Amino acid sequence: MAGPLSHVRVLDLSRIMAGPWATQILADLGADVIKVERPVVGDDTRGWGPPFMEGPGGVRGDSGYFLSVNRGKRSVTIDLSKPEGRDIVRSLAAVTDIVVENYKVGALAKYGLAYEDLKAVNPRLIYASITGFGQTGPRRHQAAYDFMIQGMGGLMSVTGERDDLPGGGPQKVGVPIVDIMTGMYSAVAVLAAMARRDQTGEGDFIDIAMLDVQTAFLANQAMNYLVSGREPRRNGNSHPNIQPQDVYRCKDGHIVLAVGNDGQFAKFSEVIGTPELASDPRFALNAERVRNLPALAAIIREALVLEDMNHWVDRLDAAGVPCGPINTIPEVFKDPQVIERGMLRRIPHPLAGTVPQVVSPMRFRDAALAFETAPPLLGQHTAEVLQELGLADSEIDGLRERGVA
């Protein structure tokens, strides 16, 4: 495979979203990712639909959820509850650079597959454990899901319309953002551990907790509270620190306005026909615009509602003022910029012929990424991987007959 990690092998013992997102990033970068799944059942997300991919004759394939997070991997079915299955995992770990797992704390230790167990067969192993709450603390043994952590981690307290307005109240983000960010942090962590291993020759154990991740990416909202003592509140689409940044109604729809500095505000004021706003002491500086937002927002609303959305987008674009339409998902994939960047590809698939994939946004000039391997069918590569471990066809058939693989 192409990509800067084409020399790396990853043993993926994770399922659902956070772990698979991390390992898909590594697969996109060229790593050989071997995804271990339960025989017959597989990763839970294979059945998280509808919608499902459809094969010839209406045969139901995997869910869109599963297909979003498992590109570029090889699927091997192994029953970890059986000693022979655990032996296979240890054999794979011996020839692996990275293990990623998201079992409950202590679960893999019962199988002899914890970090210390696998380190004994591969001292250079990098082992990332992803859990809801981490390896320590009073909640370490509890399970967690993205929605739950969005609530516990404060994200929903600052997401959604104000409580006193129609539709007000806490809202989750429309994609599983905690899972995705946990996967991103996990991928960064294992790559950092690999860089250290290049210097020391030693592997490492990485402890990633979803609640830690959510706390970490509270970002400016966390610091707003920590430096002021004031609790951030839900405020709809309005930015807490930079204005004007909000959704505004036009004659035929809405636009997102994202003025980022005082110079852009001066240009914006000219475009909407009120150049005097840029010298008004209530609005000239960003800090004053934030303090006087109700008055400013009223002026902007009165101006923008007079013309169509395209009128404002064209004029603001020409003036260098960031703005844009609120696209639906279908509209995103029709956007000329998204098309030009090749973010949507179709990859050959053994069941459906091809499968659509929203590919990695990473671009390397000298190590181009290749998107050639679709999300695997359950157990699609079991025989292939076991043969690479040196097992004969008769041995593989025996494992299948005994329900191990």
Count each helix (H run) and each strand (E run) in the chain, helices first.
Answer: 16, 13
Please tell me what DSSP assigns to residue 234: -
Cα 297 from Cα 299, distance rounded (Å): 5
Angle at 106 between CA 103 and CA 110, to 5 degrees: 100
- Helices of type H across 96-240: 115-119, 146-152, 177-200, 210-216, 219-228
Using CB atoms within 10 Å of the CB of residue 145, give its burial: 0 to 12 exposed, 13 to 18 middle, 19+ buried: middle
- Comparing CA positions, the residue from 53, 71, 21, 59 lying closest to residue 357 is 71
Active site residue 280: no
Q: How many CA atoms lie within 13 A of 369 on its CB side?
A: 22
Q: How many CA atoms lie within 13 A of 366 on its CB side?
A: 0
Reading the block at residue 9, the tokens are: 């092998």
First to last CA, the chain: 26
Which of the residues 12, 43, 62, 179 is marked catalytic?
A: 179
Helical pair 262-271 and 309-319, crossing angle rounded to 10 deg: 130
Residues designated as active site: 179
